[in-house]
Structure 1
Amino acid sequence: MFNNYFKTAWRNLLRNKAFSLINILGLALGLACSLLIFLWVQDERSVDAFHKNGRDLYQVYERSHYDGKIDASYTTQGLLAEELKNNIPQIQYASGLEYASAPGAQNTFEAGDKINKMSGMFAGEDFFKMFSFHLLQGNAATAISDPASIAISKKMAELFFGNPSNAIGKTITFDNKENLLVTAVFEDVPHNSSLQFDFLRSWTDFVAQNNWVHNWSNTSPQTFVQLRKDADAAKVQAQIKDFIYRYQSKTKGLKTELALQPFTQRYLYSNFKDGYIDGGRIEYVRLFSIVAIFILLIACINFMNLTTARSARRAKEVGIRKVIGALRISLIKQFIGEALLVTLLAIVIALVLVSLLLPSFNQLTGKQLILPLHQFDFWIMITALLLLTGLIAGSYPAFFMASFKPVRVLKGSLKLSWTNIFFRKGLVVFQFALSVMFIIATIVIYQQMQYVQTKNMGYNRDNLLYIPIEGDLVGKYEVFKQQALNNTTILNVSKMRNSPTVIEHHTNSIDWPAKDPNLQVSFADGVVGYDFIKTMDLQLLAGRDFSKAYNDSTSFILNETAVNKIGFKNPVGQTVSWGNRKGMVVGVVKDFHFSSLHQQIEPLIIRLDENWSWGTILVRVKGGQTKQAIASLQRICKQLNPKFPFTYQFSDAEYAKLYNSEQVVSKLSSLFAFLAIFISCLGLFGLAMFTAEQRSKEIGIRKVLGASAKNIVALLSVNFLKPVAIAFLIAFPVAWFAMNNWLQGFAYRIHISWLAFVIAGVAAILIALITISFQSIKAAIANPVKSLRTE
């Protein structure tokens, strides 16, 4: 019986090659797209899932109540990890974690004649006991417990010492100022880890090099803890809530709490709202999962529509089978079997497409996805997908055709009920509604990304370079600046802690006369050099920049938001205190964005410190002469800082990194919109082909009676455009709601324009017309004699 079903199904595929090709291709594209998204979603969900102690690992975050709002951040106190472990019995291990270089920069290592830059962190001695980063050499308990010790990756060990075993016990120079002993070598950090590093240094060194960590009002590092197996996370969270008040006194208007987040959730749930975890990348995971289902549904709908449209051709076959005793269930099995065969062929093609597209998809998403053909679970998933898709696509046509009445069929009086016609048209409406929604989403996301890229940030990102302050540049900054300015391709030079896009340091220690003692305001704080305003091309609203003509060691510059928050009417000359530093406001700059557009501009206070030992040199180069300026800067750095490879970043490139996730979403949404439209049009093309064929005699009679080709084309086109028009009415409000909700994640955003809906509507109509026009015109210009000669 199975052999008979297979032969029948195969013959039907070959007999109707065009429809079979459209069905298989549509399903293959839908399956390929769904598989790619599935691999991406699986990779996203696998991040940090490999840690053996994952169930007991937590990240500590800080929640602050002040100024009538609640903020939260992963930055914590520098001594918090050790104190939590010593005072909370349910905490088995704890570790702080802090980058060893400024954001966007790397550290320089030298061993023998080899010099290279690497990225890494300071970590507590419990780190390797907590996290499952496999040690190839060394002991997890002592890997980074001693001062001046370092654990390096396998890649780093091979780069500097040839292999991991040779690295142990060797000395490597860090930033040309410290000699560190290699005490451990770990396996390269997997790509599905949210923590990425090439080396880890001892937390003892971090504390020794940063005196500010002893002040519990300062925050910067991240803190991780591992609870004991029998610990209750809720009880531990209650215990640590007010923990920091053991080390600092309470302040009016400011309340600080500590909370725990499961470490395995941190990657996907990293956004805060009103001080609590509120989504993050999980939203994109959910979104793309839904998109994968919808695109697969669009492909399945094609199958349903085309199969039921061809039902008239197989009506007599069904009638004869029933007359000679075939049961309805056997017919259903046969038709579902045919659907499964088509799905099987589509899956084979889809797997080939995925393997060909994966390199480009990885480049687009920044992933390292592979097609896991060697994994048994993958083939279980493929089998489940085969059965599910085959059943969804084949169930309705199977039940529909198996319900034919043999008497009516054999008399040639088969007519589709109003319900069946309505259902088929409803499927077309659903297809195009989804397609129109994808088009609108693509337009809105593109417009928001254009807005982000072109918005005036308050400073000029063009022709601005960042050079890390490292090695001998720390003490030779002034010499570097003078030599750079002697070159005509370089306009201005300044310096700052971090960089203009990552002013992450904040302070609550800002006071001014007549300040409400119950008011606590968080200020972003910047430390800069001379000529900062000129180099950044900021707009000075009042006062002046820092100048060597004055003693500005205690002077401050504020932004507009800071002035408004303080309440100064004439800010220049007013007194402000930053902790123990009391000084005068000498300038006010127009607000500029120093973080992504997801966040509101915060109050900013800037002070002068030309001797700050790390951060970024800002260089403004002459437009059109970037290449010459970089060559000049490289020569200067090589002369002044020979032990450090010359590195730099463009300001606009660093700014673009703030929106990596959104850029990926933008590109993927464009791809999905194209696929959705293309798959929908495949089905529409097939339906148009079949309709033209079924109505060939009607068209012939109309032409004999005087109908023009134009009338025929209009007649056929209107029937297909009606469901497309209905799809607009459904798609527009749903798309507006979804995209308006997405835009809420940006503090600065576009307003959704009616133009996006017009463009989407016109595009859908034009695509539909182009799709069906070929068959409509072909039917309209056909010779009526050919279609009527059999009558």
Structure 2
Amino acid sequence: MLKNFILVTLRNLRRNTLYSIINISGLSIGIACSVLILLWVQDETSFDRFIPKVDKIHQVWVNANYDNSIQSWNSVPLPTYMEMKGAHAKIANSVVTGWGGTRLIAREDNRIMKRGYFASEEFLEVFEFPMVKGDRSTVMDDPSSIVISEELADALFKDEDPIGKFLKVDDSSTLQVTGIFKDVPENSTFQFDYLIPWKHREATQQWVRDNTNNWGNYSFQVYVELNGEGDELEVEESVKDMLMEKGQDDIERSFFLHPMTRWRLHSNFENGVEAGGQHEYVTLFTAIAMFILVIACINFMNLATARSEKRAREVGIRKSLGSKRSQLIFQFYGESIVISIISYLIAILFVLALLPSYNNLVDKSLIVDFQSSQFWIFSLMIILITGIVSGSYPSLYLSSFNPIKTLKGKVSVGKNANLPRKILVVFQVGVAVVLIVGTIVIVKQIDLAKSRDLGYNQEGLITVPGTAETLENYDVIKQELIRKGAILNMTRSNSDVTSVNSNNFLSWPGKPESQRVMFVTIVANYDYAETVGSEMLMGRDFSKEFATDTAAIIVNQAALDIMELENPIGTQLDLWGQNRTLVGVIDNILMGSPYEQVRPMFMILDDWGYGSMTLRMPATNNVQANLSQIQEVFEQYNPAYPFEYRFADVDFERKYTTINLTRNLATIFAFLTIFITGLGLFGLASYMAEQRIKEIGIRKVLGASVTNLIRLISIDFAKLVMIGFVIFSPLAYFGLDQYLGRYTIRTSIDWWIFALTGVVALAFALLVVINQARRAALANPARSLRSE
């Protein structure tokens, strides 16, 4: 029987070529889209899951109540690390790390810039990154040790055994290799190629030693390992007031534990609770994948029921020969599953062909792992779900035909299937409308952000990371580059112009006692405003002509708006218990998110924290020549390090990475959704025109024009498109309004977006349908009426 069912299925596919091509093409594209999206979703949801203790590890975060809301951050005081060890019996261990950074790792003449962390000796014991050589419990005990990745070991030592060999870090510290760990997977929150013991940082950096018992400096990251799952609430309750107990009581502060399982997808907090994050994009694209697959299945249902008249006699004969309805249902389900298998195989070929381009688009290294049991389980699920969903309505509908009526030709199957088909077409059109509107709104949101006044000039602005030698020779490098004409100006600061590295409280005359405002903090050098191309709205920039500028301060317009100072220049502001004279007001510089208001900021002139140098190149058509001159000077005064630079505009563009990905994927999959819907409409229009061929013939004989006949056939589809548009437009508006609600700076959802979408949807549907209607209207009525 099974062989007979398969033969009948293949025979039907062969005899109905157009139907087969439309069904298989639609399902293949739908499945391919879904697989590509779900590969991305699977990667996002797999972050850190390879770590054995992932369910027991938490990061210590802070909730601080100020400025009429609760602000959350993951930087804590250094003594938190040791205090956590004895804070509760259910805390098994604690770890402290820095923020990670790129450093020069050298062995003889082989020099490589790699990213790594300072971390306490418990790091590898808690996170259990797989080791290739060395005991994770002891490899970081020695302050002069270093643990490196397989990739770094291969780059520096080739076929030699690195264990016991020495490496030079930042051309200053000589460290001995005590262990090698496997290369960190891309789906890890931590990305590093080396680990240096925290004890080494304490021994070599005075500021770290000074903060060993300082509860007021929030510059470190601390993690805790709990004894078991479900202990976090009890532990959190016991440690939440630790900051207040240690004297940090100027505002209400508390610790809370953020589980490692939620780091990737739930990293945003608003007013002290999780709000938004990457999980919203995972949910969004999972929904898109499901909708695309459902739309492809709808095509199958519509076409199968539309051509049910051709299968009616087959059903009648089978029933008259003794076939039960359950056997017919099995037959039609079997046909849909066979089509699903064929479609899935073609879809996988599509996926393999498109995967390199798709990886470039999503900036990942996704693969189809044919050796994974999960892949085959997933494949089986997709095939069964697609086959069962696609074949459900046709199977139940066709198997219900009365054999006597079907053999007499008295069953009007088209009429019975009309309403369900209309509902499914409305759903297809509605999903397409939502995707089109969503894509337009996301593009508008990006354009709004990119049109904002940045407060500085990105053109020709580059950032060069600072080292001990470049900072020591800073003045010489600056003058040499200006003399050569390679730059117009240069400054240095604790962060580049596109990011924020430090925040602090500041007091001013007239500030209400209860008001606490967090200011972005820029430790800058001379010529900052001129170099970045920002305007001084009042007063002046820091200048060597004023020896008192070490006690001066500059604020931005956003800060001045909060302070409400009538005559700001010369005002004494209180910073860290010391007075600083306000000497200038700089224009608002957009350093943070392009979708948020510019935060209040102050700048000070000091001799710490200069980790970044900003250079302004002259306007020229030969940028490479300027960069070559800059490289030559830096290599002269900083020979140990390879010359590295970043363009400010490229750095700023990275802020749009997530929403650009959303836009690109939504655009692509909206187009494919429309294409799949168009395939379905094309096939459905073909069969409906075929079913009405005699009606069209009679109308032509009675004098109906071709235009009237085309309108007659097309009007039904136009109505369905408009119904889908009317029903789903409010849903699109509501969903997008919720989506945009996360942004302080947000675009409007204008009426013309829906008007344009409606016109496009209607025009596309009519373009697909009219061609089939025209062919039916031009057919010779004598042929269609021959049997009448």
TM-score by length of 1: 0.96
* Aligned residue in 2 for 1:427: 424
| Aligned mates of 2:424, 2:609 — CA distance in 1 | 66
Q: Quote the offset at 1:547 in angstroms.
A: 1.1
Pairwise CA distance, 1:156: 0.8
Report the secondary structure of 1:140's partner residue.
Answer: coil
Post-superposition shift, 1:625?
3.9
Is the 1:468–1:616 Cα contact (8 Å) retained in structure 2? yes
Aligned pair 1:189/2:180, yes or no?
no
**Contact 2:523–2:610 at 8 Å: present in 1 too?**
no
1:144 aligned to which of 140, 143, 150:
140
Is the contact between residue 435 and residue 677 of structure 1 (CA under 8 Å) also seen in structure 2? yes
- State the shift of 1:417 in Å: 7.7
Structure 2: give runs of 5+ residues left out of the alignment: none
Aligned twin of 2:361: 364
SS of corresponding position for 1:501 = coil
The residue type paired with residue 542 of structure 1 is M
2:23 is matched with: 23
2:199 matches 1:204:
yes
Aligned to 1:716: 713
CA distance, structure 2, for counterparts of residue 377 and residue 110 of structure 1: 42
- Report the alpha carbon displacement of residue 370 of structure 1 after superposing the two structures with TM: 1.1
Contact conserved, 2:92 with 2:224, CA < 8 A, in 1? yes
Offset at residue 744 of structure 1 (A): 1.6
Report deviation, 1:451: 2.1
> Counterpart amino acid of 1:213?
N
SS at match of 1:54: coil
What's the CA shift for 1:492?
Answer: 2.1
Shift in CA distance, 710/161, structure 1 to aligned 2, threshold 3 Å = same
Q: How far off is 1:583 after superposition?
A: 1.5
Unaligned stretches of 5+ in structure 1?
none
- Per the TM alignment, residue 708 of structure 1 is displaced from its structure 2 partner at its CA by 2.3
Measure, in 2, the Cα distance between the counterparts of 1:517 and 1:147. 46
1:156 to 148, 152, 155: 152
**Would the alpha carbon gap of residues 598 and 213 (structure 1) be closer, same or farther in structure 2, given more than 3 Å must change?**
farther
Alignment-derived partner of residue 6 in structure 1: 6
Asked if residue 681 in structure 1 is aligned to residue 674 in structure 2, the reply is no
Report if the CA contact (8 A) 2:308-2:414 is conserved: no
Q: 1:418 Cα shift?
A: 6.1
Amino acid of the structure 2 residue aligned with 1:618: L
The superposition leaves residues 262-311 of structure 1 with CA deviations (integer Å, 9 ceiling, x where unpaired) of: 11211111000102222311111111111111111100100000000000
Match for 1:750: what amino acid?
A: T
Which one of 165, 168, 171 corresponds to residue 166 of structure 2?
A: 171
Specify whether residues 69 and 155 from structure 1 end up closer, same or farther in structure 2 by C-alpha distance, changes over 3 A only: same
Q: By how many angstroms is 1:90 displaced?
A: 2.2
Question: Structure 1 residue 735: deviation in Å?
Answer: 0.9
TM superposition shift of 1:425: 0.2
Which of 103, 117, 121 pairs up with 1:121? 117
Query: In the alignment, is residue 404 of structure 1 matched against residue 391 of structure 2?
Result: no
Q: Does 1:296 align with 2:271?
A: no
- Describe how 1:276-675 pairs up with structure 2 within 5 A: 276-416=273-413, 420-508=417-505, 510-551=506-547, 552-609=549-606, 612-675=609-672
Could you say if the C-alpha distance between residues 14 and 366 of structure 1 is closer, same or farther in structure 2, counting changes exceeding 3 Å?
same
Deviations 1:105-155 (A, max 9, x none): x21122111111111111111000001211212221222233232211111
Give the Cα separation in 1 of the matches to 2:248 and 2:353. Answer: 62
Question: What is the identity, as a one-letter code, of the residue corresponding to 1:149?
Answer: S
Question: For each residue in 1:595-652, what CA deviation from the matched residue of structure 2 results, as whole angstroms up to 9, or x when unmatched?
Answer: 0124332221101136654223333442534222212211111111111111111111
The one-letter amino acid paired with 2:188 is S
- In the alignment, is residue 782 of structure 1 matched against residue 779 of structure 2? yes
What is the SS of the residue equivalent to 1:6? helix
Tell me if the contact between 2:461 and 2:648 (Cα under 8 Å) persists in the aligned partners: yes
Return the alpha-carbon distance in structure 2 between the equivalents of residues 179 and 637 of structure 1. 24
Which amino acid counterpart does residue 19 of structure 1 have in structure 2?
Y
| Residue 238 in structure 1 maps to residue 233 in structure 2 | no
Whether the aligned pair in 1 keeps the contact of 2:531 and 2:614 (CA below 8 Å) is no
Equivalents in 1 of 2:426, 2:47: separation in Å? Answer: 38
Q: 2:189 is aligned with what amino acid?
A: S
Is 1:598–1:745's contact at 8 Å kept on the other side of the alignment?
no
Partner of 1:259: 256
Tell me which stretches of 4 or more aligned residues in structure 1 moved more than 6 Å. none
Q: Is the 8 A contact 2:33 2:289 kept in 1?
A: yes
C-alpha distance in 2, partners of 1:112/1:132? 31
What displacement does 1:100 show?
4.3
Which has the higher mean CA deviation after the structures are superposed, 224-233 or 314-323? 224-233
| Contact kept in structure 2, 1:494 and 1:528, CA below 8 Å | yes
Maintained 8 Å contact 1:535/1:620 = no
Tell me which residue corresponds to 2:51.
Answer: 51
Distance (whole Å) between structure 1 residues aligned to residue 128 and residue 100 of structure 2: 21
Q: 1:589 and 1:613, CA in 2 relative to 1: closer, same or farther beyond 3 A?
A: closer
Q: Is the 8 A contact 2:449 2:595 kept in 1?
A: no
C-alpha distance 581-175 of structure 1, shift in aligned 2 (>3 A): farther
Question: Could you say which residue in structure 2 is the equivalent of 1:250?
Answer: 249
Q: What displacement does 1:777 show?
A: 2.1
Alpha carbons of 1:774 and 1:231: their partners in 2 closer, same or farther (altered >3 Å)?
A: closer
Which string of whole-angstrom CA distances, capped at 9 and with x for unpartnered residues, describes residues 669-700 of structure 1?
11110111111110000011112222222222
Name which of 240, 244, 268 aligns with 1:271.
268
Displacement of 1:434 in angstroms is 0.2
Distance in 1 separating the partners of 2:483 and 2:578:
35
- For the structure 1 residues 405 and 612, does the alpha-carbon distance in structure 2 shift closer, same or farther, using more than 3 Å as the test? closer
State the distance in 2 between where 1:366 and 1:70 align: 34
SS in 2 for 1:176: coil
CA distance in 2, matches of 1:161, 1:429: 64
* Deviating more after overlay: 598-607 vs 11-20: 598-607
Instruction: Report how far residue 396 of structure 1 moved.
Output: 0.5
Q: Is the 8 A contact 1:489 1:622 kept in 2?
A: no
- Please give the TM-score of this superposition, normalised by the length of structure 2: 0.96
Letter in 1 for 2:265: L
Name the SS for the 1:553 alignment partner.
helix
Find the residue that maps to 2:597 and give its secondary structure: coil
Report the secondary structure of 1:486's partner residue: helix
Quick one: distance in 1 between partners of 2:459 and 2:740?
Answer: 26
CA distance in 2 between partners of 1:546 and 1:620 (Å): 21
- Equivalent residues, number: 783
For 1:633 and 1:769, locate their aligned partners in 2 and report how far apart those are by CA, in whole Å.
60
Once the two structures are overlaid, the 10-residue window that deviates more, 769-778 or 652-661, is 769-778
Q: Write out per-residue CA displacement over residues 387-433 of structure 1, whole angstroms, 9 at most, x where no aligned residue.
A: 12111110111111111122322232222486631111010000010
Q: Does structure 2 conserve the Cα–Cα contact (< 8 Å) formed by 1:492 and 1:621?
A: no
Is the counterpart of residue 213 in structure 1 residue 211 in structure 2?
yes
Q: In structure 2, how many angstroms separate the alpha carbons of the residues matched to 1:651 and 1:557?
A: 22
SS in structure 2 at match of 1:511: coil
Between the two proteins, what is the percent identity of the paired residues?
37
Aligned equivalents of 1:663, 1:32: Cα separation in 2: 22
What is the identity, as a one-letter code, of the residue corresponding to 2:176?
Answer: L
Whether the aligned pair in 1 keeps the contact of 2:48 and 2:188 (CA below 8 Å) is: yes
2:116–2:195: 8 Å Cα contact kept in structure 1?
A: yes
> In structure 1, what is the equivalent of residue 69 of structure 2?
69
Deviates more, 1:613-622 or 1:134-143: 613-622
Task: For residue 143 of structure 1, give the secondary structure of its aligned residue in structure 2.
Answer: coil
Specify the code of the residue in structure 2 equivalent to 1:173: K
Counterpart contact for 1:469–1:617, Cα < 8 Å: no
Query: Shift of residue 231 of structure 1?
Result: 7.7
Confirm or deny: 8 A CA contact 1:218 1:507 kept in the other structure: no
